[in-house]
A = this chain, B = another copy of it.
Amino acid sequence: MTRLSLTGARVVTLDPKRRILDADVVVEDGRIRRIGTRARGAADKKAGTVLDCTGMVVIPGLVQAHVHLCQTLFRGLADDLALEDWLAKRIWPLEAAHTEESVYWSAMLGAAELLLGGTTAILDMETVRHTDAAFHALESIGIRATAGKCLMDAPSAPTGLREDTERALAEAMDLCARWDGRADGRLRWCWAPRFVPSCTGPLLRAVSDLAEKTGTLIHTHAAETPVELEMVMRETGQNEIAYLDAVGISGERAALAHCVWVDGEGIARLARQRTGIVHCPSSNLKLGSGIAPVPEMLAAGCRVAIGADGAPCNNRLDAFTEMRLAALIQKPRRGPEALPAAQVLELATLGGARVLGLEREVGSIEVGKLADLAVLDLSGPHAQPESADLVSRIVYSARASDVRHVIVGGRVVVQDGKLRTAKLEGIRREAGAHARRLSRAARV
Interface residues of A (CB under 8 A from B): 73, 75-77, 79-83, 86, 109-110, 112-113, 116-117, 282, 284-291, 314-318, 325, 327-329, 331-332, 334-338, 340-341, 379-382, 384-389, 392-393, 396-397, 399-401, 424, 427-428, 431-432, 434-436, 439
Contacts and interface: CB of A to CB of B under 8 A. Distances in A.
A388 B332 contact: no
B317 A76 contact: no
Given A288-B331, A332-B285, A80 B341 contact: yes
A315 B397 contact: yes
13 contacts: A75-B384, A75-B385, A76-B392, A76-B396, A79-B396, A81-B336, A82-B337, A116-B382, A117-B382, A282-B328, A291-B332, A317-B382, A325-B325
A395 to B, nearest CB: 9
Residue from A382, A388, A397, A399 having most chain B Cβ neighbours under 10 A: A382
Contacts of A432: 384-387
Contacts of A116: 380-382
Shortest beta-carbon contacts, A-B, top 7: A76-B388, A385-B435, A401-B401, A285-B328, A315-B396, A80-B340, A288-B336
Nearest to A343: B80
Given A80-B341, A113-B381, A401-B401, A387 B436 contact: yes
B335 A384 contact: no
A227 to B, nearest CB: 13
Contact of A435 (B286, B337, B381, B387): B387
The quantity of this chain's copies bound in the complex is 2
A400 to B, nearest CB: 7
A112 to B, nearest CB: 4
B286 A328 contact: yes
Nearest to A401: B401
A314 B291 CA distance: 19
A82 B335 contact: yes
B289 A341 contact: no
A329 B325 CA distance: 10
B428 A379 contact: yes
Given A285-B328, A314-B396, A315-B392, A336 B384 contact: no
A316 B400 CA distance: 13
A340 B79 contact: yes
Contact of A332 (B289, B340, B386, B400): B289
A295 to B, nearest CB: 12
Given A79-B396, A81-B336, 10 more contacts: A73-B385, A75-B384, A75-B385, A288-B335, A315-B392, A316-B396, A325-B325, A381-B427, A387-B432, A387-B435
A75 B388 contact: yes
Contacts of A316: 382, 396-397
Contacts of A336: 80-83, 86, 286-288
Contacts of A397: 75-76, 315-316
A318 B397 CA distance: 10
B385 A331 contact: no
Contacts of A428: 379, 381, 384, 386
B79 A290 contact: no
Contacts of A325: 325, 328
A76 B381 CA distance: 13
B396 A431 contact: no
A167 to B, nearest CB: 32
Given A328-B282, A331-B286, A77 B337 contact: no
A435 B287 contact: no
A401 to B, nearest CB: 4
